[in-house]
Chain A
Amino acid sequence: MARRAFTHLVLMLGAAVMLAPFVIMLSISLKPPGEVFAPQFALLPTQWHAVENYTAAFTKVPLARFLLNGFFVTLCIFAAQALTALPMAYALAKLRWRGRETAFALVVLALLIPPQVPAIPLYIGLWQLGLLNTYAAIILPSTISVFGIFLMRQFFRTVPDDLIAAARMDGLSEWAIVWRIMLPTAAPAIAAFACLSFIWNWNEFFWPLIAVQEEHLMTPPLGIAFFSNAEAGTSFGPLMAAATVVTAPLALAFLLAQRAFISGVTMTGVK
């Protein structure tokens, strides 16, 4: 009993450390400038400044625009990833064709390449196409997810062959089998893949930083870095309000779909 109480104590302390930045972020976002730099930290402000801070966050920089950009970019990326990865995963898992083994070996190889490695050639290529500083520049490099292909292939292999045979007898084309049979059967895996894709691309900072300079194209991480630079550490209240707004969609999605998020991240271990 005592041991269990001790474990809880340690875990609670740990949880406090893990959650401290979130608590502080929320707390500061509610405080007026005077209280931010108070020598003694207080959780709640004595004088509420929430409206002013959040208004400032949305007016000093086009924060709403950043958020919209973020949703647009992540949505496009996931759509492209699913549209290309699912058919290939199905072809790798269930169809017999010449070159299948080679193609799969290349997927595994591509899996080993960190996403920052292709950056310089991609930048040069997009520059030559005149696509730098466009949504396309942010989206295109992420349209392929070899991780998604790999994950879905592993999952599709567990779908019984008879189910596919039955679908063929019922008159479905191979293309229709991907979307009408494999997709719903693999729904949990796809949910996990969607969560991962959302986490990665919402948070992605490295590539957008390189590909985009213009304010109206910035994704949330880029936008908030831009905000932080512009204010140079003076107005913490509005900055924390902006950070809260940027973090909120992911954190809320995580709290709502915890299982899918965690299983998705765990699936990075399916190798």
Chain B
Amino acid sequence: MAEAKGTLGPRRAEALAGTLLALPAFILMWLMLLGPAVAVGLLSLTDWNFGEPQIRFAGLENYAEMWGDRVFWISLRNTVIYVGVSVPATVLLGLLAAIAIESVGPLKGFYRAAYFLPVASTLLAMALVWEFMFHPSVGFVNQVFRALGLPTADWLQNPDTALFALAAIGVWQNLGLAMVLFMAGLKAIPPDLYEALAMDGADGAWERFRRVTWPMLGPALVFVVAITAIRSFQVFDTVQVLTEGGPSKSTEVLLFTMVQQGFTFLRSAYGAAITMVFLLLTLAITLAQTVLLDRRAHYG
């Protein structure tokens, strides 16, 4: 009788393996994401500036300062305008592109690739191209506008237009993403619904859209809006290389302010407080998305 000693039963071996396999990722997740996220919250309650030997608990002082900070409010307002302009445009154009591309037979692959290419390209390099395209005299945009008899401007240097010019770049970049997500949503609609609709006597494009596509696309729509909004909130690259927040703070956005305060002026604690605002806004979008999807689920 040779009894097996020192080995574990299959159940305990499985539990041990599970823990060991999850451990490296779990540790990294705490070190790189969750831990720092908690640290940001704590840091925002101190008065610490980068490199200082002393650290003092400051309560809500940073938030109080933020409340009175004109630049912060400009930054928040600009961010909200940027999101408010680029999200509807991205979602609407993405939806139209998806429906149009799904409805045409040939060239489908080409259209999809063309509209998606900006998503897969380096935004920073393309931002520099856009800078050239927005050039007041030789820029492509003004040349086209002039040819069409539309007003022209020095888009990126004019405080009234700079934010919208950046939003246009954002729409251009994210449109393809919204499009492929909508295309996936469209594919999930069972074709017999359209057939049933045709049998019921409604087969026009508008009827098809209103009675089947739109209601069936609901969850996808909520998701696309949320993901586009979250991405828009993160606008930074174009601001950093094209306008640096200017002219006269007209393109100052939250992440740019955060980097300025936290890394340029080395005001770590204040930067952390701005980060918290940024985090809360992002979480609010996710929360709104969850609530909306839940309601729809009960409704449907």
Contact B115 A18 (CB under 8 A): yes
Of the stretches A7-15, A48-56, A184-192, the one at the interface is A7-15
Residue of B nearest to A253 (CB): B120
Verify if A45 is at the interface (C-beta below 8 Å from B): no
Question: Quick one: which of A113, A123, A125 contacts B37, CB cutoff 8 A?
Answer: A113
CA distance A72 to B122 in the complex (A): 17
Residue of A nearest to B176 (CB): A18
Verify if B177 is at the interface (C-beta below 8 Å from A): yes
Contact A24 B237 (CB under 8 A): no
CA distance A28 to B128 in the complex (A): 12
* Secondary structure of the A contact surface, majority rule: helix
Min CB gap A60→B, angstroms: 15
Question: Quick one: which of B17, B120, B233 contacts A91, CB cutoff 8 A?
Answer: B17
Residue of A nearest to B283 (CB): A112
Min CB gap A244→B, angstroms: 8
Contact B126 A251 (CB under 8 A): no
- CB-CB under 8 A for A250 and B37, given A91-B18, A120-B43: no
Verify if B110 is at the interface (C-beta below 8 Å from A): yes
Q: Which interface class (under 10, 10 to 19, 20 to 34, 35 or more) fits A?
A: 35 or more
CA distance A202 to B237 in the complex (A): 14
Q: Which interface class (under 10, 10 to 19, 20 to 34, 35 or more) fits B?
A: 35 or more
> Within 8 Å CB of B93, what residues of A?
14
Min CB gap A62→B, angstroms: 16
Contact A100 B18 (CB under 8 A): yes
Verify if B130 is at the interface (C-beta below 8 Å from A): yes
> Within 8 Å CB of B50, what residues of A?
124, 127
CA distance A22 to B174 in the complex (A): 16
> Within 8 Å CB of A4, what residues of B?
104
> Within 8 Å CB of A247, what residues of B?
121-122, 125-126
Residue of B nearest to A97 (CB): B18
Residue of A nearest to B120 (CB): A254
Contact A265 B138 (CB under 8 A): no
> Within 8 Å CB of B236, what residues of A?
116, 205-206
Contact A10 B24 (CB under 8 A): no
Question: Quick one: which of B28, B180, B223 contacts A262, CB cutoff 8 A?
Answer: B180
Verify if A107 is at the interface (C-beta below 8 Å from B): yes
Contact A11 B104 (CB under 8 A): yes
> Within 8 Å CB of B34, what residues of A?
106, 109-110, 113
> Within 8 Å CB of A88, what residues of B?
21-22, 24-26
CA distance A95 to B255 in the complex (A): 40
Question: Quick one: which of B40, B111, B223 contacts A117, CB cutoff 8 A?
Answer: B40
> Within 8 Å CB of A39, what residues of B?
137-138
Question: Quick one: which of B36, B43, B172, B259 contacts A21, CB cutoff 8 A?
Answer: B172
Residue of B nearest to A174 (CB): B17
Verify if A99 is at the interface (C-beta below 8 Å from B): yes
Question: Quick one: which of A116, A125, A246, A261 contacts B275, CB cutoff 8 A?
Answer: A116
Question: Quick one: which of B17, B43, B119, B124 contacts A205, CB cutoff 8 A?
Answer: B124
Min CB gap B264→A, angstroms: 10
Residue of A nearest to B241 (CB): A225
Min CB gap B191→A, angstroms: 19
Verify if A90 is at the interface (C-beta below 8 Å from B): yes
Contact B124 A225 (CB under 8 A): yes
Verify if B4 is at the interface (C-beta below 8 Å from A): no
Min CB gap A43→B, angstroms: 11
Give the 8 A-B residue pairs with the shortest CB-CB distance, closest first: A97-B18, A118-B36, A95-B18, A88-B25, A243-B125, A87-B21, A221-B124, A174-B17
A-B contact list, 24 entries, CB within 8 Å: A3-B205, A8-B104, A15-B110, A19-B114, A22-B121, A37-B137, A38-B138, A84-B24, A87-B24, A106-B26, A117-B40, A119-B262, A124-B50, A124-B268, A144-B28, A225-B241, A239-B128, A240-B128, A240-B129, A243-B122, A251-B120, A251-B121, A254-B116, A258-B113
Where the two chains meet, the residues of B that have a C-beta atom closer than 8 Å to any C-beta of A are 11, 14-19, 21-22, 24-26, 28-29, 31-37, 39-40, 43, 50, 93, 97, 100-101, 103-104, 107, 109-126, 128-133, 137-138, 140, 143, 172, 175-177, 180-181, 183-184, 205, 220, 223, 227, 230, 233-234, 236-237, 240-241, 255, 258-259, 262-263, 268, 271-272, 275, 278-279, 282-283, 286
